[in-house]
Homo-oligomer: A and B are copies of this chain.
Amino acid sequence: MDFPAALCALHREVAVLYGATARRFDLTVQQAELLRQLDLESLSFGELARRLGCDKSNMTGMVDRLVRRGLLVRQTDPDDRRIVKPVLTDEGDQLVVRIRAEFAAVVGQRCADLPATEKKQMAELAAVVSAALSRQDNEQL
């Protein structure tokens, strides 16, 4: 299997596992991903849409549903009042932690037979490749 095909295959398996994990917490996979991104760093609606690879018009509804569940609040930027940032509530933050732990547990269980050195190597390579793929010059997208 060549490099792009291997990325595709891995992506598929992680998507299935991550989706199943999200569902256990009554979240869609997109909701879990949105919360995870906000946990990584503070993002506006537009930046969030770019990270999730979807149109900004979708964010309104997605954030609304998570606000209704008490996992997010809207925060308007005082310096530029056009900009709004969804921010994790304590409950939202705790949920992200629980999802991450659950996902890590499933991955750990399934990869139990993998040598630690290979996992370490994989983690390092995945970080490098992620960085390469995420280049923001996405004009051709």
Closest CB in chain B relative to A121 CB, distance in Å: 6
Provide the residues of chain B in CB contact with A16, threshold 8 Å. 51-53, 134, 141
Instruction: State the majority secondary structure of interface residues on A.
Output: helix
**How many copies of this chain does one complex carry?**
2
Asked if B20 and A8 make an inter-chain contact with CB atoms under 8 angstroms apart, the answer reads no
A3 in contact with B122 given A11-B11, A15-B11 (CB within 8 Å): yes
Asked if A10 and B126 make an inter-chain contact with CB atoms under 8 angstroms apart, the answer reads yes
A4, A13, A110, A111 pick with most chain B CB within 10 angstroms: A4
Return the CB mask of A59-87 against B: 1 if under 8 Å, else 0: 00000000000000000000000000000
A121 in contact with B121 given A13-B130, A132-B110, A132-B111 (CB within 8 Å): yes
Chain A residue total in the interface (Cβ 8 A):
55
Asked if A111 and B125 make an inter-chain contact with CB atoms under 8 angstroms apart, the answer reads no
The interface of chain A, by Cβ under 8 A from chain B, is: 1-20, 33, 36, 51-53, 100, 103-104, 106-108, 110-111, 113-114, 118-130, 132-135, 138, 140-141
